[in-house]
């Protein structure tokens, strides 16, 4: 937890500090010996933790996203995985000098990307368009596919030489894994959703019930077919996320917190399991391999997989530079290395180079997370897939005034996302052409479901003052305190008694409260955009519209959106576009301002 907190404070990928903590308490100081502490339970606990993490990842997959990205995801998770496997295995054999069986095994492991690393990285980059959902889907689906390929290769190594196994048994093993995993995942989702839909499980038992069932499905599926549990729990999470009958909000919040705990523990334990001499034995061959994995294998795999697809050149370039490895790769490698060491592969087929698997996997993780973590954001901005200074707005609340603000800002070509907990409100906003999503801004995983591309600030405009304040606190880490706003509280006394650390910046004027804004719209007031010029200045604007005019935003010629807040007059300049709440439309057309 200290490493997680320090990573948050320093704005670094938490995986790097977690691995550093594991190295310190394990191979460097010798304080922690996971194998001695847990014994035979070490590998089963790692497997169960990975299963829970993949179930939580499945909960983030939305079927509606596949309409625009399905073909790209399919190509990356099939042809892209195969190309990555072939190239990585070839480099491992000819450069790192692994035997072909071991090269094929570790090459399959390296086809997985890190969804637990990609998620935070995407939240930092905030890319526009499809690349964010594509990377998220690929990270989770490729994990299952890569893990399955690795398992099939591992059992082929144990049973016989890979060359003697033949294609038939391999395909049959793959088919059994898919069938058993799909059946177990579907059955698990049904068993979980039916009691929730019929309210047979109280709220306080939903999280432990779901956790127990996930573990049961994972173990049962693995018992029927080796390593099919990963597919089962991922599919179970996907089905639960996309069913409509049962509320799973309690489960999502619980799994979000549990994932953080499991990831932290896993990385520390896995890093602590290393031997110091194994780290010092890494040679230039391993470092050269990692470099080629980044600059050659990933770009070639993405390039071949997306030939003829609808992906733009910018999207292909960004995806070609985004393949961090995470906990799944580390956990699977540790499991295989342990089993190979225990089995000793009987006689002549001992592979001494198998001892290099775990340190090499950690080298891959550290290098890919560092390289992609430092370069993904600048690359996205260079490719115009992200903004260096995003001006878009996340609006929490779907009232008439909030929708009017969303439409006015959208007309300026700014990214606007409206979020509300009322399905009808979200539907009406979408019919009005506003990008609206259903969900609670206070949910633990709220950020996971918001398209962050182009968003640079948040405005809480609900009728509940407490919700507005909590929302600004919730998103202050993402957008910064300077860019989190809320409507002024309804009660003057409540506003005075609230510490400045417990709310966002108050929007507009002191009189601009939720009830007042909604009342004005109901009386025929409207939002209007006015182009200020030398001939029609801000002073003339106020003189023309009188006290009814409430300046809300100004949009500068260089593309900056400046929000009007209490204590800071808007001070628009000629050339700015001023968005204001004006009085009812005058009946006499000649009474309008010429530039409005």
Q: Cβ contacts of residue 318 below 8 Å, gap of 6+? A: 127, 131, 376, 379, 380, 383, 385
Q: Cβ contacts of residue 446 below 8 Å, gap of 6+? A: 419, 439, 440, 474
Question: Is the CB of residue 358 less than 8 Å from the CB of residue 278?
Answer: yes
Q: Which two tokens mark 231?
A: 């597919």
In 3D, which of 475, 474, 469, 459 has the Cα closest to residue 491? 469
Contacts made by residues 478-483, CB under 8 angstroms, sequence distance 24+: 478/123, 478/447, 478/452, 479/394, 479/455, 481/505, 483/456, 483/457, 483/458
Domain 392-591 has CATH 3.40.190.10: no
Q: Where do the structural domains in the chain lie, given as residue ranges?
A: 41-382, 392-591
**Low-confidence residues of the chain, pLDDT below 70?**
158-171, 173, 341-351, 388, 444-445, 491-501, 586-596
Q: Which two tokens mark 154?
A: 């591992």
Q: According to CATH, what is the number of the domain 41-382?
A: 1.20.1530.20
pTM of the model: 0.71
The dihedral region occupied by 176, where left means phi > 0, alpha psi between -120 and 50, and beta the remainder, is alpha
In 3D, which of 275, 362, 270, 360 has the Cα closest to residue 30? 275
Distance CA 145, CA 76 (A): 11
Question: Is the CB of residue 533 less than 8 Å from the CB of residue 595?
Answer: yes
Pairing of strands 392-396, 416-420: parallel
The DSSP line for 41-64 is GHHHHHHHHHHHHHHHHHTT--GG
What's the pLDDT at 79? 92
pLDDT digits (tens, 9 = 90+) for 32-86: 888 888 888 888 888 888 888 888 877 877 777 777 788 898 999 899 999 999 9
What's the pLDDT at 49? 87
In 3D, which of 114, 111, 163 has the Cα closest to residue 140? 114
The 3 state secondary structure assigned to 392-435 is: EEEEECCCHHHHHHHHHHHCCCCCEEEEECCHHHHHHHHHCCCC
- With vertex at residue 33, the alpha carbon angle to CA 368 and CA 102, rounded to the nearest 5 degrees, is 50
What's the pLDDT at 493? 45
Distance CA 205, CA 213 (A): 12
Distance CA 225, CA 174 (A): 10
* Residues found in the chain: 596
Q: Cβ contacts of residue 419 below 8 Å, gap of 6+? A: 394, 395, 396, 397, 398, 436, 437, 438, 439, 441, 446, 450
What's the pLDDT at 548? 75
């Amino acid at each position: 937890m200290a490493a997680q907190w320090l990573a948050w404070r320093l704005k670094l990928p938490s995986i790097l500090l977690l691995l550093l903590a594991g190295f310190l308490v394990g191979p460097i100081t010798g304080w922690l010996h996971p194998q001695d502490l847990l014994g035979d339970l070490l590998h089963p606990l790692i497997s169960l933790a990975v299963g829970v993490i993949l179930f939580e990842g499945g909960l983030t997959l939305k079927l509606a996203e596949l309409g625009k990205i399905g073909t790209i995801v399919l190509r990356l998770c099939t042809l892209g995985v195969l190309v990555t496997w072939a190239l990585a295995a070839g480099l491992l054999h000819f450069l790192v000098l692994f035997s072909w069986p071991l090269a094929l095994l570790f090459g399959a492991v390296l086809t997985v990307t890190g969804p637990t690393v990609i998620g935070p990285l995407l939240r930092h980059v905030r890319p526009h368009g499809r690349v964010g959902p594509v990377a998220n889907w690929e990270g989770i689906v490729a994990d299952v596919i890569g893990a399955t390929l690795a398992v099939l290769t591992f059992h082929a190594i144990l049973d016989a030489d890979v060359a003697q196994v033949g294609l038939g048994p391999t395909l049959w093993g793959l088919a059994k894994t898919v069938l058993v995993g799909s059946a177990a995942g579907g059955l698990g989702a049904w068993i979980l959703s039916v009691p929730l839909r019929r309210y047979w499980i109280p709220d306080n038992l939903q999280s432990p019930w779901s956790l127990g069932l996930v573990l049961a499905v994972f173990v049962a599926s693995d018992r029927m077919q080796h390593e099919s549990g990963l597919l089962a729990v991922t599919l179970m999470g996907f089905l639960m996320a996309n069913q409509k009958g049962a509320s799973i909000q309690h489960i999502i919040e619980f799994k979000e917190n549990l994932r953080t705990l499991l990831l932290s523990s896993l990385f520390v334990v896995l890093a602590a399991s290393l031997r110091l001499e194994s780290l010092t034995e890494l040679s230039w061959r391993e470092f050269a391999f990692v470099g080629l994995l980044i600059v050659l294998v990933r770009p070639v795999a993405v390039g071949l997989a997306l030939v003829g697809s609808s992906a733009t050149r910018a999207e292909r370039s960004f995806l070609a530079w985004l393949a961090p490895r995470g906990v799944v790769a580390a956990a699977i490698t540790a499991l295989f290395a342990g089993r190979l060491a225990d089995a000793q592969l009987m006689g002549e087929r001992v592979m001494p180079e198998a001892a290099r698997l775990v340190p090499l996997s950690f080298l891959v993780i550290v290098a890919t997370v560092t390289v992609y973590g430092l370069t993904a954001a600048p690359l996205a901005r260079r490719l115009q897939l992200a903004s260096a200074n995003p001006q878009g707005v996340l609006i929490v609340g779907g009232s008439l005034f909030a929708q009017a603000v969303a439409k006015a800002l959208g007309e300026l070509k700014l990214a606007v996302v409206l979020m509300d907990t009322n399905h009808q409100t979200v539907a009406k906003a979408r019919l009005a052409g506003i990008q609206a999503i259903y969900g609670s801004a206070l949910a633990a995983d709220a950020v996971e479901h918001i398209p962050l591309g182009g968003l640079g600030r948040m405005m809480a405009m609900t009728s509940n003052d407490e919700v507005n304040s909590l929302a600004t606190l919730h998103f202050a880490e993402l957008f910064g305190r300077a860019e989190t706003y809320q409507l002024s509280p309804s009660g003057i006394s409540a506003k005075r008694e609230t510490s400045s650390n417990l709310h966002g910046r108050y929007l507009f004027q002191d009189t601009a409260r939720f009830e007042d804004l909604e009342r004005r719209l109901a009386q025929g007031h409207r939002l209007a955009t006015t182009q200020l010029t030398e001939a029609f200045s801000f002073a003339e604007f106020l003189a023309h519209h009188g006290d009814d005019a409430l300046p809300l935003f100004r949009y500068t010629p260089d593309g900056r959106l400046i929000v009007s807040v209490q204590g800071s007059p808007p001070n628009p300049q000629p050339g700015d576009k001023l968005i204001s709440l004006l009085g009812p439309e005058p009946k006499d057309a000649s009474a309008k301002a010429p530039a409005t």
